[in-house]
Amino acid sequence: MTTKKILGAVLAIAGISATGWLFAADHIDAPAVTNQTSDITDVYAFQGQNTNNLVFIGNTQGLLSPTATGAAKFDDNTLIEFNIDNNNDNVEDLVIQCISVNGKMKVYGPYKPSATGARSYIEPNAFSAQVDITTYGETAKIAEQKGIKVFAGPRDDPFFFDLNQFKKILAGTATGFNNPGTDAFAGTNVLSTVVEVPKSLLGGTGKINVWLETKKKTTIPNM
C-alpha cells in the first residue's frame, strides 16, 4: 500500500492512567458528518483482561437499527485513528491507524506519526495486524499479530443515556435522572473497531491522553 494523505474530523480528547479507563461520546452531534461513515459515536480506552495491555475502541455510524446494520459497512476511504499523547502536551506522540481494505481491517502502529494534527499519513512499514471484518450476526472474528489483537464489525451500542429525561431536566420539568433510567440507545448498533495493545508499545508509564479521529482520503492509493 502506498502512503496516502488524509484529512480529519476530531471527536474527543480524554486521559487514562495505566490502570484506569475512560470513555467519551458524541452520537450525531457533529452536523458535518451526521449519517456518514466518518461519524464517531464513542471512544473508549481501558486496561485489558491481560493487565499488561490497553484496549482502544472506536465506534462509528451510530443509531443503526437491526434492519440497517446488515448493510452498514466500513468505508475503505475513511481512516480511523487513535491518537496517543504520553507527555501531556496535547500533541499525538503515537498513533494507531485502522482502515478497511477489501473486507479486512488493517492496523498500523502504534508508531510515531510523520505529521500531527488534522493531516495524517499511513506509513506502510508500520503495518502490525489485520482481521477479517465480522458481518452482522456472525461469530466475532478476532486476530492477533505481533501481540496486537484486533476486531472490527457491528456491535450493540454500549453507551447508556436517558435522553428523554435529560431533555426534561434541560426544560426544567425534572430535577434529576431516574434510577433506573431508560436507555435511549437500546436496540441500536454501531460499527466497532477494537485494538488491544501491549503497554510496552505505548511509551511512558503514567497517564496518557487519547483521542479518536476519522479522516477521509484526499488521494486514492494503489492497494
Domain ranges of the chain: 5-160+190-217
Peptide bond into 154 cis (omega under 30): no
Alpha-carbon gap, residue 163 to 153, rounded angstroms: 26
Sheet holding 53-64: strands in order across?
21-25, 40-47, 53-64, 189-198, 148-156, 143-145
Residue 28's pLDDT is: 56
Alpha-carbon gap, residue 213 to 196, rounded angstroms: 18
Residue 185's pLDDT is: 87
pLDDT tens, N- to C-terminus, the chain (223 residues): 333 444 444 444 444 444 444 544 555 555 455 556 778 888 999 999 999 999 999 999 988 999 999 999 999 999 999 999 998 898 999 999 999 999 999 999 999 999 888 889 999 999 999 999 999 999 999 999 999 999 999 999 988 889 899 999 999 999 999 999 999 889 999 999 999 999 999 986 678 899 999 988 875 455 5
pTM of the predicted protein model: 0.84
